A and B are shown apart, each in its own frame.
With several copies, the nearest count.
Chain A
Amino acid sequence: MGVGVDVRNQIARRAANEIKDGMIVNLGIGIPSLVSNHIPEEIHVMFHAENGILGMGESPEKGFEDEMLCNAGGFPVTLVPGASYFDSATAFGIIRSGYLDITILGGLEVDEQGDLANWIVPGKRVPGIGGAMELANKAKKVIVVMNHINKNGDPKILKKCSLPLTAKKCVNLIITDMAVIEVTEEGLLLKEVMSPYTVKEVLENTEAELQVSDDLAIFI
């Protein structure tokens, strides 16, 4: 099941709420890349890219792209004041040393332990690891944004991941088209339901055990 532009932006908008002033943030390809569009003006964030940029700004206007200034997904970006270029080894030095406050990644499966699978479906899809393994293992906070169910209608939030893992016990927060779920020491905690879904629909479409938060909110 694909999700439409509005829903993708709803997810991105909710993820943007996690980003606070002064943070260093890395956004993955796909829905994560939309998050930067939803950061309020007064929040100053340094966006990091694996290819070697700290301080990416918004997308350039059509016709003003610089083909040699792109994010890790290969799409043109701009710079903010204070930005710098460096090689990819340094870019990952920043990641491995734990300087990223938040990384927002896509996911194929997440489970009750906070394990993440997002790089390979053996025999079917082999996009490769990219930077996900380092990002998921080393960022201070790992947010996974994805559809709640896959295109066959099966849950992607599982008791135990079935696909090869990207990283173990790494995910802090899951944001889907249906729900916002926190990974806690005691398991998965349903904190918010995305409008127009109900708690019942979320539970039906989740294989993992979900505790429902006492102050459950609705995100519109």
Chain B
Amino acid sequence: MKKTIRNAGKVGTLKEALSRIHDQSILMYGGFGGVGNPPTLIQGIYEKGVKELTLIGNDAGFPEIGIGKLVSRRRAKKLIASHIGSNPAAGQLMATGEMDVEFSPQGILAERIRAGGVGIEGILTDIGLGSMVEEGKQKVTVNEKEFLLELPLKADVSIVHAKKADIYGNLIYDKSARNTNPLVAMAGEFTIAEADEIVGPGELDPECIVTPGVFVDLVIPSEGVNWKWAWE
């Protein structure tokens, strides 16, 4: 996964971002239960009419919240996630066979995304052994103990929601909206961050940057959350 890096001037537009996302793209998204899903990018993808996506992320959001909108409007042919309970549309599409769903245990999904991002070719775990999760997976025996082999996940495009970005693509996140975003940011062949605020060089504390800019290809301004939360 080698990509062209621009060191500076990574700031661009939603239009530029959307030019990277096509029918049948493998799209990975940061967020957990809608929190940390990038709202502007998701709305843009929806309005562009992109379809037959393979989506990879923690969950299916809610029907009208976050990534859930793309799921409930039938824009995904496949979803790799840890749960879909909060989006009944996902369950229905899975039941009718309109959308293929692959489940990973939540922390293993996070590690698979990280592995994709940091160039690790597989991880061994005992999580899921003896359960439905092991179906179709290779097993490896180490010191007479058996483990499941879980493979890395990568994407054509990763989309994340940051609190602040600088022009180099360095990112910091907002409280628990960090969740899977730093992992997803590393695993995209092309990574797009939408940020609530975009700042100049040197304005982010190097000690507090969570995602180094090298992982990010394009930064666009966020228009903020455009949905009503379940708790509201």
Physical contact A–B (CB less than 8 Å): yes
Q: Which 9 pairs across A and B sit closest by C-beta, in order of nearness?
A: A92-B107, A128-B83, A96-B119, A93-B118, A127-B85, A81-B202, A74-B33, A98-B2, A81-B201
Docked complex Cα distance between A138 and B59 (Å): 22
A16 at the interface (CB under 8 A from B): no
Of A55, A85, A165, chain B has the most CB atoms within 10 Å of the CB of: A85
For B167, what are the chain A residues with a Cβ–Cβ distance below 8 Å? 82
How near does chain B come to A88, taking the closest CB pair, in angstroms?
A: 4
Q: Pick the contact of B81 from A45, A71, A84, A128 — CB < 8 Å?
A: A128
Within 8 A of A (CB), among B86-105: 86, 91, 94-95, 101, 103-105
For A126, what are the chain B residues with a Cβ–Cβ distance below 8 Å? 84-85, 91, 94-95, 101
Nearest A residue (CB) for B210? A87
Give the secondary structure class of A's interface. loop
B19 at the interface (CB under 8 A from A): no
B142 at the interface (CB under 8 A from A): no
17 A-B residue pairs with Cβ-Cβ distance under 8 Å, sorted by A, are A46-B213, A46-B214, A48-B214, A54-B213, A66-B175, A68-B177, A70-B35, A74-B34, A75-B231, A82-B167, A82-B201, A86-B212, A87-B110, A91-B107, A92-B118, A127-B83, A133-B127
Known A45-B7, A68-B36; further 20 A-B contacts with Cβ < 8 A = A24-B214, A67-B35, A67-B229, A82-B201, A83-B206, A85-B173, A86-B209, A86-B212, A87-B180, A89-B107, A94-B215, A96-B118, A99-B5, A126-B85, A126-B91, A127-B84, A129-B82, A131-B107, A134-B106, A137-B126
Of A23, A84, A164, chain B has the most CB atoms within 10 Å of the CB of: A84
Q: How large is the interface on B (under 10, 10 to 19, 20 to 34, 35 or more residues)?
A: 35 or more
B120 at the interface (CB under 8 A from A): yes
B174 at the interface (CB under 8 A from A): yes
B→A interface (CB under 8 Å): 1-3, 5-8, 32-36, 58-59, 62, 81-86, 91, 94-95, 101, 103-108, 110-111, 113-114, 117-120, 125-128, 130-133, 163, 166-168, 170, 173-183, 186, 201-202, 204, 206-207, 209-210, 212-215, 225, 229-231
For B34, what are the chain A residues with a Cβ–Cβ distance below 8 Å? 74
- Do residues B84 and A52 form an inter-chain contact, with CB atoms below 8 A? no
- Do residues B106 and A131 form an inter-chain contact, with CB atoms below 8 A? yes
Of A54, A86, A97, A131, chain B has the most CB atoms within 10 Å of the CB of: A97
- Do residues B225 and A164 form an inter-chain contact, with CB atoms below 8 A? no
For B82, what are the chain A residues with a Cβ–Cβ distance below 8 Å? 128-131
For B103, what are the chain A residues with a Cβ–Cβ distance below 8 Å? 128-129
Residues A131 and B105 in contact in the complex (CB < 8 Å), given A23-B7, A87-B180: yes
For B178, what are the chain A residues with a Cβ–Cβ distance below 8 Å? 52, 85-87
How near does chain A come to B94, taking the closest CB pair, in angstroms?
A: 6
Residues A130 and B83 in contact in the complex (CB < 8 Å), given A66-B175, A137-B126: yes
Docked complex Cα distance between A48 and B168 (Å): 14
A140 at the interface (CB under 8 A from B): yes
A162 at the interface (CB under 8 A from B): no
Q: Pick the contact of A93 from B113, B119, B174 — CB < 8 Å?
A: B119
For A147, what are the chain B residues with a Cβ–Cβ distance below 8 Å? none
Docked complex Cα distance between A199 and B106 (Å): 39
